[in-house]
């Protein structure tokens, strides 16, 4: 009767606690030794449990910052407010050569709740897990076979170290998100730059090719050098004198250009006596004769084509000579007869 009264009083006392807790015993100061029995008391009238007919109790260790489940008590009637439990070897992950204290975590949830989701959700509406201490005693089986115990411990340590190393390597090998984003942006920028450079090169080559195909037309600027030599003459076939005149502007320009050159008379005479100068003078005379013929034919109404292919034009010197020779003599003075 005393045990039942103690249990009922513990349940009733726990029901009066604030709604922020899920269990009253064990507390963080309690130490439960392997092989001992205790009451597990929860607040049955907690708002998060009152609508649930059954509760589940999950026991965990935290290893490498992760919850490791070791034992469960399922389908506990909510209104009973607690159960009597005994700590045994099933509460521990593996036997130990020496006695040791371990921190255990308890998590109470309605039987319909998903413990994995609620445990990983920091904003879960249910009270968070509570902790207490359990004492694991040294195993007698391990003392009788130290070699086996040493082998098991070594295997466990190696497995733990390998897991830690793998986790450490994975953490260091993984690139942060911002680094991946920078790499992707840089690659895209390089691709865009290469495409732009390619198009610029193609367009530049096309422009160069088109520029080579465009004919260059140079329009001479009007000036004094473009003035033609004006020649007044009569028919070449006639014996009339032919008079030729040059533009005063062109002569003045030539004289000014010659005067601007620092040449002596001897140099000019030597230049004129060269074959090149004589050829140029002959060509100039021929062009002058052709111009005279063209103008005369235009005045007579005859084109160059009708003038005949064997028409020869005298040089300017010959035309001038013939004009002087054939010039009529002046009439003799009149004789005055004196009638006286």
Alpha helix ranges (H) inside 174-303: 177-213, 248-259, 265-272, 275-300
Q: Where are the domains of the chain?
A: 2-151, 225-325
CA 261 to chain centre: 64
Give the model's pLDDT for residue 313. 46
pLDDT in tens, 312-321: 444 555 555 5
Q: Compute the CA torsion angle 203, 209, 213, 214 (nearest 10 deg).
A: 40
State the angle between helix axes of 275-300 and 316-325 in degrees (0 to 180), rounded to the nearest 10.
60
pLDDT in tens, 253-277: 444 444 445 555 566 666 556 667 6
Provide CATH code, domain 2-151: 2.60.40
Element of type H or E holding 55: strand 54-63
Q: Which residues have a Cβ under 8 Å from the Cβ of 156 and sit 6 or more positions away?
A: 94
In this structure, are residues 99 and 139 in contact, taking their beta carbons and an 8 Å threshold? no
Q: Which residues have a Cβ under 8 Å from the Cβ of 303 and sit 6 or more positions away?
A: 297
Give the model's pLDDT for residue 298. 82
pTM above 0.85, yes or no: no
Give the model's pLDDT for residue 274. 67
Distances (CA, A) of 42 to 1, 28, 144, 223: 21, 14, 41, 118
DSSP label at 240? S
Give the model's pLDDT for residue 296. 82
Structure tokens at 139: 């195993």
Give the model's pLDDT for residue 180. 87
Give the model's pLDDT for residue 242. 46
In this structure, are residues 307 and 293 in contact, taking their beta carbons and an 8 Å threshold? yes
Distances (CA, A) of 198 to 193, 195, 295: 9, 5, 63
In this structure, are residues 316 and 288 in contact, taking their beta carbons and an 8 Å threshold? yes
In this structure, are residues 152 and 94 in contact, taking their beta carbons and an 8 Å threshold? yes
pLDDT in tens, 71-97: 999 999 999 999 999 999 999 999 989
Cα separation, 295 vs 235, whole angstroms:
9
Structure tokens at 39: 């009451």
Q: Which of 63, 62, 15, 42 is nearest to 109 (CA)?
A: 42
Structure tokens at 320: 């001038």
Would you put residue 31 in left (φ > 0), alpha (ψ -120 to 50) or beta?
beta
Cα separation, 107 vs 116, whole angstroms:
11
pLDDT in tens, 116-125: 999 999 889 8
Measure CA of the first residue to CA of the last residue in the chain; give whole Å.
208
Place of tokens 């963080």: 28
Q: What is the mean pLDDT of the chain?
A: 74
Strand bridging mode 243-244 / 54-63: unpaired
Counting as low any pLDDT under 70, the low residues of the chain are: 1-3, 141-174, 212-275, 277, 302-340
């Amino acid at each position: 009767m005393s045990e039942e009264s103690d249990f009922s009083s513990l349940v009733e006392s726990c029901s009066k606690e604030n709604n922020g807790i899920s269990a009253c015993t064990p507390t963080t100061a309690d130490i439960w030794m392997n092989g001992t029995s205790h009451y597990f008391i929860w607040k049955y009238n907690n708002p998060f449990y009152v609508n649930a007919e059954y509760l589940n109790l999950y026991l965990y260790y935290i290893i490498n910052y992760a919850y490791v489940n070791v034992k469960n008590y399922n389908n506990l009637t909510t209104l009973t407010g607690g159960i009597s439990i005994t700590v045994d070897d099933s509460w521990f992950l593996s036997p130990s050569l020496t006695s040791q204290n371990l921190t255990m975590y308890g998590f109470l949830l309605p039987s319909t709740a998903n413990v994995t989701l609620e445990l990983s959700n920091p904003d879960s509406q249910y009270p968070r897990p509570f902790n207490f201490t359990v004492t694991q005693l040294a195993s007698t089986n391990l003392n009788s076979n130290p070699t086996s115990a040493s082998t098991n411990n070594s295997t466990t340590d190696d497995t733990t170290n390998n897991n830690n190393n793998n986790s450490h390597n994975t953490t260091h090998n993984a690139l942060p998100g911002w680094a991946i984003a920078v790499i992707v942006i840089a690659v895209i920028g390089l691709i865009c730059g290469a495409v732009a450079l390619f198009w610029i090169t193609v367009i530049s080559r096309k422009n160069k090719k088109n520029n080579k195909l465009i004919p260059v037309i140079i329009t001479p600027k009007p000036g004094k050098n473009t003035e033609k030599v004006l020649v007044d003459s009569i028919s070449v076939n006639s014996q009339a004198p032919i008079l030729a005149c040059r533009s005063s502007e062109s002569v003045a320009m030539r004289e000014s250009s010659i005067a601007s050159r620092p040449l002596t008379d001897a140099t000019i005479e030597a230049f004129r006596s060269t074959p090149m100068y004589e050829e140029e003078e002959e060509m100039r005379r021929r062009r002058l004769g052709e111009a005279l013929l063209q103008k005369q034919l235009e005045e007579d109404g005859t084109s160059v084509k009708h003038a005949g292919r064997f028409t020869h034009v005298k040089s300017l010197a010959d035309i001038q000579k013939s004009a002087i020779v054939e010039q009529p003599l002046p009439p003799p003075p009149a004789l005055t007869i004196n009638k006286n």
